[in-house]
Amino acid sequence: MKSFFKSFFASLLAMIIFFGLIFLLFFGIAGAFLASEKVSVEGNSVLVIDLSKTYNDRTMEDPIAEIMGDDLQPDLNTAIKLIEKASKDSSIRGVYLLSKDNANGFAGSSELRKALVAFKTSGKFIIGYGDYISQKAYYVASVANKVYCHPKGMFEWQGMSVEYTFFKNLIDKLDIKPQIFYAGKFKSATEPFRTTAMSEANKEQTSVWLNDIYDEMIDVVASSRNKSIDSLKSYANRFTLDKPENAVAAGLLDGLKYDDQVRDEIRGRLKIGKSDKINFISLAKYSKAVSVAGAYAKDKIALVLAEGEIVYGKGSPDQIGSDEYLALLRKLRSDKSVKAIVLRVNSPGGSSLASEIIWRELELIRKEGKKIVVSMGDVAASGGYYIACNADKIMVQPNTITGSIGVFSIVPDFSSFMNNKLGISFDRVMTGEYADMPSVTRPLRENEKKFIQGQVDQIYLDFKTRVAEGRKKDINYIDSIAQGRVWTGKRAIQLGLADKIGGLEDAIAEAAKMAGMKEFKVRKYPEPKSILEYFMDKASSDLTSSTLKKELGMEDYQLFKRIKALKEEKGEIKTQLPFEFIIK
């Protein structure tokens, strides 16, 4: 019997190894096939840019999608470089801008829009079209030579709104007590759990930054469409563009056409027959056909992409894990070929400790004499601002969300919920009064509450000190503009929290200038993972999140995350944006 089991497990191990090798061989062959696949750009082509696709700062690898023939969207920086490349590519005659919806934030959209403005100045055409056209999509599409909507479609132009969800009544009914601690009168991350509506302070800050974003949209559309700012605001306030034909009459649309009619117009611009095929090429396909990599150079600018929530430890692929970024930044600090670093921040913040760990390594890089330029994306707030504040220069978009210099912590007390709703009680034996602190199965004592609030206040002081030293400002002044308050990039410059308006490419140029570099190569970090690393990460987290996003939709998924986060809170002190929002 003993020899049987020995033979059995030996055979089983051999089978596992065999199928493991087959698995790796399969992906190796598939990878070689993909690598050998060459996409060519035919003459008289039209580049298709779909605004409903998300252009993230960091591209997430997906070998399965590639093997199945799905084209992965390029990251935002690559997309911008591709548009620039297309403006000089004789094979590309114009852009077909699919403008149904816009899945990107306003700052990212601003960078895409700027690239399209430059493309248009090359003399090539841009045609925008949507069965319906959302307001955020029109923000980008307004740059086009012509913008058309489906005759029976919809055109959105009604102003902006932000809606927050409040859970206080829910958790009261469930007998859950959140036990909240915070520093900063505008630090409203805890409001959903302690109030049933926005505080006056939160209403004030939200009104200011929302109107800043709205005014920026109005300004660029007015310039592109040769309209007055007052008339555009009047259309929205009176809701007079509820039908696409009204938008045509107002001069915001150039006509109502079916898709086949728009294609006929494109054929006319290409000077081909009505029955001839249009050589459309998507941005994803175009990225396989051309190279936007710079020429070889010995010296490098490291482009560090910090996108997602800041978490302590390893984190997932869509988070900024302190372990991963500490190791990465240390590697760049010791790399003699790296002369400057551009830190692209697109984060609402997160763990205060993780933010401090990353801040420290960036400070050591500066002490080594390497220049650091921060480029802020859609959001670079709270912990996202913490890791950015000691840079040599900070660049923003006018509609970037930043600031939120404040701290909070939540220790939920589930004891009443467990006892009254589920019939579960708890008892304990401890070696000291504070042995189980913080506990989610009993209420905090008054002295424990004072201790946690003291920690929150100390971290808030540390945060303000980091900002004051990094921005070379008096700490009392920083306190006056901190308090957890959120600012737009435009106001951040006025307040001294940022230096100038500019996108990622502007930040790279600035870093090269500061480091005295004429020839350099830009290399992106974190570097792509191996196939094995990808599947391990995918198995642990990404499959769950992508499935939930698909089933729930983005808005309900955000709500799910908030409830899940409260359940998992155990008193970690956070520097995080005071809300999750979707601008409508």
- The catalytic residue among 382, 404, 409, 415 is 382
Strands (E), 77-198: 92-98, 125-133, 146-155, 180-183
Contact between 489 and 398 under an 8 Å Cβ cutoff? The reply is yes
How far is 474 from 478, CA to CA, in rounded Å?
6
How far is 528 from 525, CA to CA, in rounded Å?
8
161 catalytic residue (yes or no):
no
Two structure tokens written together for 476: 């009392």
How far is 490 from 500, CA to CA, in rounded Å?
8
How far is 498 from 490, CA to CA, in rounded Å?
9
How far is 74 from 82, CA to CA, in rounded Å?
9
Measured on CA atoms in the order 309, 311, 314, 320, is the torsion positive or negative? positive
Is 459 buried (19+), middle (13-18) or exposed (0-12) by CB count in 10 A?
buried
Contact between 297 and 127 under an 8 Å Cβ cutoff? The reply is no
Contact between 142 and 221 under an 8 Å Cβ cutoff? The reply is yes
Neighbours of 78 (CB within 10 A): 18
187 catalytic residue (yes or no):
yes
Q: Which residues contact 230 (CB under 8 A, 6 or more apart)?
A: none
- The catalytic residue among 53, 100, 124, 187 is 187
- In terms of Cα–Cα distance, which of 193, 195, 183, 185 is closest to 573? 183
How far, in Å, are 363, 366, 391, 486, 487 from residue 466 at the CA level?
10, 14, 11, 18, 18
Angle between helices 322-334 and 352-367 (to 10 degrees): 0
- The torsion defined by the Cα of 79, 80, 84 and 86, in degrees rounded to 10, comes to 20
How far is 245 from 233, CA to CA, in rounded Å?
18
Neighbours of 26 (CB within 10 A): 11
How far is 160 from 206, CA to CA, in rounded Å?
12
Name the CA radius of gyration of the chain, rounded: 26
CA geometry: angle 120, 291, 123, nearest 5 deg: 15
What is the enclosing helix (H) or strand (E) of 364? helix 352-367
| Active-site residue set | 187, 382
